Chain A
Amino acid sequence: QVTLRESGPAVVKPTQTLTLTCSFTGFSLSTSGMCVSWIRQPPGKALEWLARIDWDDDKYYNTSLKTRLTISKDTSKNQVVLTMTNMDPVDTATYYCARTLKDGSAYSFTDWGQGTLVTVSS
């Protein structure tokens, strides 16, 4: 059974750096084709993809947020960490991590965490 759980601060101040951890079970990020993505959703708004890290340590970022994002993995701990710098109130959102499977040329978000709400406020 695959599970993912996001953890991190519920509140951050403007200009601070946000660090979120995705802890997962049921799969290994060292397995070919396995990836983990971060996705966020502002209250009442649509989903927005942030970043993806692949089993081979390739990393991909949302172009408009690329300068603020860093994604990394610790395969031995089954964790993926996302940092976002220079937080702003518009970054207030529920942040999800999702297992992402590569099948040929297709990538799919197959399993999602419960999400963690991050509020940016002074």
Chain B
Amino acid sequence: SYNLTQPPSVSVSPGQTASITCSGDKLGHKYTCWYQQKPGQSPITVIYEDTKRPSGIPERFSGSNSGNTATLTISGTQAMDEADYYCQAWDTNTAIFGGGTKLTVL
């Protein structure tokens, strides 16, 4: 079965750039989405189709996907960005989620 691997945690200082990676076999051949989930809330989509931002998502969120790794980048990280982030891709009509990364802004 297909797996996506994320680091369990990433820390960043306010105003700095945070990068969260997602690894999978030939992931660059698939579209990757990223979801943000704050405690007690439903996930929201921050990146879809590797690089696209839904309306209402700040420009500081960006995505890339090549080779075996997709990356979510948050530029000028703010305290409000502290959350769990999940990558997701489809493998033969099955949605696969990564294990999630807890982003701490300190």
Contacts and interface: CB of A to CB of B under 8 A. Distances in A.
B1 A109 contact: no
A112 B95 contact: no
Interface stretch (A7-15, A18-26, A81-89, A99-107): A99-107
A47 B48 CA distance: 17
Given A63-B1, A108-B49, A49 B97 contact: yes
Given A63-B1, A63-B94, A109-B35, A46 B100 contact: yes
B99 A106 contact: no
Contact of A49 (B1, B49, B95, B99): B95
A114 B86 contact: no
B100 A47 contact: yes
Interface stretch (B13-21, B38-46, B66-74, B75-83): B38-46
Contacts of B33: 108-109
Contacts, number: 57
Interface in A84-122: 96, 103, 105-110, 112-115
Interface residues on A, range: 20 to 34
A39 B94 CA distance: 12
B96 interface: yes
B33 to A, nearest CB: 5
Given A46-B100, A107-B95, 18 more contacts: A46-B86, A46-B97, A46-B99, A47-B43, A47-B88, A47-B100, A49-B95, A63-B94, A96-B42, A106-B31, A106-B48, A106-B90, A108-B31, A109-B35, A109-B43, A109-B45, A109-B88, A112-B43
Pairs of residues from A and B, 10 with the lowest C-beta to C-beta distance, nearest first: A49-B95, A108-B48, A106-B31, A112-B42, A47-B97, A60-B93, A46-B100, A106-B49, A46-B99, A108-B33
Interface of B: 1, 31, 33, 35, 42-45, 48-49, 54, 86, 88, 90, 93-100
Interface of A: 37, 39, 46-49, 52, 60, 62-63, 96, 103, 105-110, 112-115
